[in-house]
Structure 1
Amino acid sequence: KKLRTVGNPDTRFQEDALRLLRGLRFVNVLNQKLLTTTKKKKPDPTDKVRLFDFEPETWKSIKSNHTLLKTIAKERIKEELTKAFSQGNPFGLIGLLDEAEMLAILFPALALTKHVDQPIRYHPFDIYSHIILTLYHLQEINQNYLVRFAMLYHDVGKVGQYAEYGKNLSKEEIRTLLAGPLNHRFSSAVLAEEDFRKLGFSHKEIEEIQRYIREHHTPGEILLGNPQNRAKRLRKLLSEAGFERVNNLLDINIADRMGMYNPLQNASDLSDSRYLKKLLLDLEQEEGQFRAKDLAIKGKDIMEHFHLKPGKIIGELLEVALDRVLGDIKNRNKPDQIFANLANHLKNLSNRDGTHSSTQEK
């Protein structure tokens, strides 16, 4: 089965260049539907899977006219890309865009990751291959188009990071890197803002994409930390971001780890990541999203109890209280316990720098 234009393909694409992108999306969607249908049937080794393809002259015209994409209003391109990434196989679309020489036009930062090798002890693939593998795994478990776009750009900043720092860093160099703007989580988010703004994405959509990119290592950091603190750290993340965002981050973490391995080989043990998913679900069902407003005390209570005036210190003390309560919401969210903990905190502040020395409890 082949997709062809009505009449001369050059004429059709020059009439409306969006047909270039729409044609790729149609073929990708139709192939995904065929593959899905085939998987549901009882396997028969004599069956031949007939996939959709482009009629040769149509495909030749798509490639020769690919620069016409630059003439399309960004709002129309954004609509097509959103449809494609909301459907079943964005991984397949990226492959078609690459083959049709459109990748660098639509996703320039992603195109620059091709053939950029990574440290072999962490990644056996170049940056681009790793990214599209993670997208492949993510689309199997998460349908959110913004999460998928974040996965597409989560590591694009590594190009600049490797160019500046190289790939075999000392511990001191790693500390310097993580504290600076070339930390790929931050530089990737900057590149995403640049490219998705040019594609017509809204400020709100771009912020969401950037948030996932900046935080995509957070689940891994929780797993590498003290196992006894995992529930508390997950509660804090849940408090700040909400269930849906945290669940999306955990999906990104799983896909990122799976993208480090050849799909034909056994992937890494993901039991710890899946444990976090279960823990998140348990916390959501048992406790919900616990935030500062859910504390047993309010800012005015702190001011009255410690004879403090309104100011920055009140917000800081609420954060201290929240951090403490998140360790054990059921038993610690009690006024007397919160005030006792804050009294110790203020005492430590006073001993450290002499501030709040006149603060007294009732």
Structure 2
Amino acid sequence: MNINIPKNVQYIIDKFYKNNYEAYMVGGCVRDCILGLSPKDYDITTSAKPNITQSLFTKTVPTGIEHGTITVLIENENFEVTTYRTEGNYLDNRRPESVLFVSNIKEDLSRRDFTINAFAYNDRDGLVDYFDGLTDLNNKIIKAVGDPNKRFQEDALRMLRAIRFSAQLDFTIEENTLNAIKTNCVLIKNISIERIRDELCKMLISNNPTKGLILLRDTGILEIILPEINSLVEYTPLCNNHNRDVFEHTLKVIDNTESDLKLRLSALFHDVGKLNTLTSLPNGHHYFPGHNIESAIMTKEILRRLKFDNGTIDNVCAIIYDHLVLRPDYMPTDGEIKRLINRVGINNIYTLYNLQRADINSLWDPIPFLNKVDYIENKTREILENKEPLTIKALAINGSILIKDLGLKPGKILGYILNYLLEKVLDDKTLNSKDILITLSKAYLNDLQNNVDLH
């Protein structure tokens, strides 16, 4: 088997061999090359000790020197180079208490998580595959190296990685490996929330995110890391819009989305508020008044718990807040659409429409609702292309003009007037001229002076 080795990786490998040390590409980059995928990065393993690696290359960073890892920088590329090693006992289901450098590549590969990640390769020895990973790769199997219980007790994050690889590659987790995940699922509590979040994100933007979510449910991990989503499983109140339980509906919505993290997070949590808003109707059916608002509130707390950045939290919650499409027989005014754009944000508005379509396509009769989304999206595009005023900054007037022309002093009153003018212009863009806005300002100020003590 011949694998193309990038120039800089080959340079590193050759450098070691010229100095009487072994070196290989290792792990996921070899797996991806065999699959015909482009690796995101290339890891290298070597028989050389870390201090030797540092001495052989001009630019290095001791990123994990205590564990044998040195980052080598070549032509603005970073390559992690790690000495062959075995690991001591794992005290926290995540990190070994010690590492021991070894001279045998097989010992190093035997500590790795899955057979499809236990490959090494160079142009001298070809593919090194002591654990029959190539067979598992060809059969689309994810199988632990050695005893799966031991692998997961060493590093509980490997359970999430197995599920994420299954979603990314559309592989099946081997039975003993899957059973070991079920047996050890509680150990996921020992993993940092940031690492759990990162694996969840990779799974969500994979080609098979719902496969990953089903595996999380079936292994018991979902109940631990996302109990709110797990509570939707078999939550099947009879309602007018769809005939599946809310978890299955959520999976269907995610299946209807493209690979975009913000969109898929919104799809995952868009109905989580149904748990708290269930309301019965006289005919035995149910509905969920305000569940979009409750979902946004709950999602904010969940994403904070998962330590997402504030921008992601705000964007996802804004999308969820406005995801409901009601009354397909009513088409909103331009002013209402503009206010929607302002609430959700220009950067999120088309993501909102994508979520709405994904949600609607999971309903009994999607066509009328889809027609409404099409209408709103077309109007949105028209509004944005025409650069119609949406914010106070887009008004043909500002605070300085109001101070000069109306003889006002700086203060809250200026904000009241500008917000009033924006509301008028959102409903009628033809009002956005200085003279008209001055006239409107005077009338508004007169009303305020008659009803409010401005001093």
Give the TM-score category using the shorter length: 0.7 to 0.9
The aligned length equals 312
Q: Which residue does 1:29 correspond to in 2?
A: 168
**Equivalent pair of 2:389/2:425 in contact (CA under 8 Å):** no
Q: Which moved more, 1:315-324 or 1:2-11?
A: 315-324
Q: Which residue does 1:78 correspond to in 2?
A: 197
**Equivalent pair of 2:392/2:419 in contact (CA under 8 Å):** yes
**Equivalent pair of 2:234/2:246 in contact (CA under 8 Å):** yes
Tell me which of 294, 303, 312 is aligned to 1:196: 303
**Equivalent pair of 1:119/1:167 in contact (CA under 8 Å):** no
Q: Which residue does 1:334 correspond to in 2?
A: 433
What is the alpha-carbon distance in structure 2 between the residues aligned to residue 305 and residue 312 of structure 1? 17
**Equivalent pair of 1:223/1:230 in contact (CA under 8 Å):** no
- Classify 1:193/1:242 alpha carbon distance in 2 versus 1 (closer, same or farther; 3 Å): closer
Cα deviation, residue 294, structure 1: 1.4
What is the alpha-carbon distance in structure 2 between the residues aligned to residue 288 and residue 222 of structure 1? 26
State the identity %. Answer: 28
What is the alpha-carbon distance in structure 2 between the residues aligned to residue 109 and residue 235 of structure 1? 33
Q: Which residue does 1:17 correspond to in 2?
A: 156
Cα deviation, residue 323, structure 1: 1.9
What is the alpha-carbon distance in structure 2 between the residues aligned to residue 291 and residue 278 of structure 1? 20
Letter in 2 for 1:135: I
Tell me which of 260, 270, 287 is aligned to 2:363: 260
Cα deviation, residue 334, structure 1: 0.6
Matches within 5 A, 1:87-126: 87-126=206-245
The runs of at least 4 aligned residues of structure 1 exceeding 6 Å deviation read none
Q: Which residue does 1:154 correspond to in 2?
A: 270
Normalized against structure 1, the TM-score is what?
A: 0.77
**Equivalent pair of 1:189/1:213 in contact (CA under 8 Å):** yes
Tell me which of 36, 54, 64 is aligned to 2:173: 54
Letter in 1 for 2:351: N
- Classify 1:60/1:159 alpha carbon distance in 2 versus 1 (closer, same or farther; 3 Å): same
Structure with greater helix share of residues: 1
Normalized against structure 2, the TM-score is what?
A: 0.62
- Classify 1:188/1:26 alpha carbon distance in 2 versus 1 (closer, same or farther; 3 Å): same
Cα deviation, residue 297, structure 1: 0.3
What is the alpha-carbon distance in structure 2 between the residues aligned to residue 211 and residue 239 of structure 1? 10
Cα deviation, residue 354, structure 1: 5.9
Letter in 2 for 1:156: V
Letter in 2 for 1:13: F
Cα deviation, residue 244, structure 1: 2.2
Letter in 2 for 1:253: Q
What is the alpha-carbon distance in structure 1 between the residues aligned to residue 393 and residue 164 of structure 2? 46
Tell me which of 240, 244, 257 is aligned to 2:347: 244
- Classify 1:224/1:310 alpha carbon distance in 2 versus 1 (closer, same or farther; 3 Å): farther
Letter in 1 for 2:319: Y
**Equivalent pair of 1:125/1:260 in contact (CA under 8 Å):** no
Q: Which residue does 1:6 correspond to in 2?
A: 145
Task: Tell me whether 1:276 sits opposite 2:376 in the alignment.
Answer: yes
Q: Which residue does 1:345 correspond to in 2?
A: 444
Q: Which moved more, 1:5-14 or 1:320-329?
A: 320-329
Letter in 2 for 1:66: C
Q: Which moved more, 1:246-255 or 1:279-288?
A: 279-288
Tell me which of 170, 177, 185 is aligned to 1:66: 185
What is the alpha-carbon distance in structure 2 between the residues aligned to residue 97 and residue 109 of structure 1? 13
- Classify 1:312/1:207 alpha carbon distance in 2 versus 1 (closer, same or farther; 3 Å): same
Structure with greater strand share of residues: 2
Structure with larger RCO (C-alpha < 8 A, sep 6+) = 1
Cα deviation, residue 289, structure 1: 6.8
Q: Which moved more, 1:332-341 or 1:85-94?
A: 85-94
**Equivalent pair of 1:243/1:289 in contact (CA under 8 Å):** no
Cα deviation, residue 276, structure 1: 1.8
Task: Tell me whether 1:212 sits opposite 2:319 in the alignment.
Answer: yes
Task: Tell me whether 1:168 sits opposite 2:168 in the alignment.
Answer: no
Structure 1 or 2, whichever has the larger Rg, is 2
Cα deviation, residue 22, structure 1: 0.8
Cα deviation, residue 145, structure 1: 0.8
**Equivalent pair of 1:240/1:291 in contact (CA under 8 Å):** no
Q: Which residue does 2:335 correspond to in 1?
A: 232
Q: Which residue does 1:48 correspond to in 2?
A: none
Unmatched tracts of structure 2, length 5 or more: 1-138
**Equivalent pair of 2:322/2:344 in contact (CA under 8 Å):** no
Cα deviation, residue 127, structure 1: 2.3
Cα deviation, residue 119, structure 1: 4.5
**Equivalent pair of 2:424/2:431 in contact (CA under 8 Å):** yes
- Classify 1:288/1:20 alpha carbon distance in 2 versus 1 (closer, same or farther; 3 Å): farther
**Equivalent pair of 1:239/1:289 in contact (CA under 8 Å):** no
Once the two structures are superposed, residues 184-220 of structure 1 have per-residue CA deviations (whole angstroms, 9 ceiling, x without a partner) of: 2333233223332332323332232222222223xx3
Letter in 1 for 2:382: D
Cα deviation, residue 305, structure 1: 3.0
- Classify 1:289/1:132 alpha carbon distance in 2 versus 1 (closer, same or farther; 3 Å): farther
**Equivalent pair of 2:271/2:295 in contact (CA under 8 Å):** yes
Letter in 2 for 1:24: I
